[in-house]
Amino acid sequence: MKNYIFYSTILCAFTEALSLNIGFDLKFFYFVVFINFIILVSFNKVVYTKGLLIFHCLVLFSGLFSCVFGYNKFGYFFVQFFFLLLIPTYYNSFFNFFKDRFKDIASLYCKICFILAVIGFLKLPHDISIGRSFESLLLEPAHYCTIVLPAYFITLKDKSYPRYYFIIIMFSIIVSGSSLGFLGLGLSLILMLKKISFTRVILPIIGVTLIGTFVYFNFAPFKLRVDDTVNSMVSGDLSKANLSTYALLSNFYVSAKSFSSNPIIGNGIGSHVYSRELYLSKIEGIEVFESMNSEDLNAKDAGSLFSRVMSELGLMGLLGIFIYISKFYVKNLDEKSSINSIICKGIMLYFFAKLFREGHYFSPEMYFFVFLYVFNKYDSSKSNNLQLAIKV
């Protein structure tokens, strides 16, 4: 049973494509978490921490406030809040249960990403024949890149993995054609730096700029998205934007308006879809997407986690993200902490992609990475304490 919990929890992080829309997304992931949570309860292994309590209290306060003052609706808020109680508590308990196997968890995740990349290349001819891009067994190219970016960085920097791991994963990201994947690869060049200095920062920036310029002039879909985004931002008119640009900018506009109405605690979890009803009609060029029945693109998730948190949790949520990332960041102080520092930076690539592109609170991989990041810090502290004990 213990092995079942271990493997099923890690594998279900890759199951976003296994969902059924019945008015809401019924995901295979929900069943795995619910069943495994009951098993952990039976083992008396559910762990609820002070940090989770603070998080839940702040979210509850924000949500109730927004519902009372008409920014949100009680029903949708409480559904969201229920899952925010269950899923983070489960993943915290899972990582606590297997804290002595932390490196095994990280290793298995990287191996699965490598296998997914290989499957993606084998499946690519079929995907191209039906008009799709490289996505392996996942939902779409951007989602694929979001999930495998940490594995690319970890297998690149950690020499215990075969060199072909990172090469194949890197090429899979490039072949996917995802703008988000290219941005992630560019950011990884900066995260490779052990120490920050002007020269060490400026050289990767130059490298990213040159690579970006090459991709811009030689990869038409990337050029289209960049041109549409820049033109729409400069003109304030979304009528000529592609769907991806429209989803990103329209949701950011709504989020900014929502933030200005309630900047401290936001309008509450689940409120973004209602904020769109208030502000969407004021966007110039919206009629083009209304004619295509595409005006509600990414309505529920705001198109990016940054936009959604800004809209629904305000300054409280944005500061919370910054505090969380800072608190559990692992510096590369010595040989013992280097592996944990690599894992930390790899997960930061996921956070970047998630904040920029995906706003779902309950994508199957999200809390896997959230608590992988937390327990990576604990694993690093444990290694450092052990090293100190040996020296003494």
pLDDT tier, 390 (very low <50, low <70, confident <90, very high otherwise): very low
Cα(223)–Cα(227) distance, integer angstroms = 6
Q: Where are the alpha helices (DSSP H) in 69-197?
A: 74-97, 102-129, 141-157, 163-176, 179-191
Cα(65)–Cα(75) distance, integer angstroms = 14
> Does residue 183 surpass a pLDDT of 50?
yes
Residue the block writes with tokens 């100190």: 388
pLDDT reported for residue 235: 54
Least confident window among 10-14, 199-203, 340-344: 199-203
Residue the block writes with tokens 């990475």: 369
Dihedral sign, Cα of residue 200, residue 202, residue 203, residue 205: positive
Tokens of 50: 């002070």
> Does residue 370 surpass a pLDDT of 90?
yes
pLDDT reported for residue 389: 36
Do 264 and 58 touch, CB atoms closer than 8 A? no
pLDDT reported for residue 321: 93
pLDDT reported for residue 392: 31
Q: Which pTM does this prediction carry?
A: 0.88
Least confident window among 249-253, 266-270, 278-282, 307-311: 278-282
Q: What is the phi-psi region of residue 20: left when phi exceeds 0, alpha when psi lies from -120 to 50, beta otherwise?
A: beta
Radius of gyration of the chain (CA): 21
Tokens of 201: 């920062």
The string of pLDDT tens digits covering residues 13-33 is 999 988 887 767 789 999 999
pLDDT tier, 123 (very low <50, low <70, confident <90, very high otherwise): very high
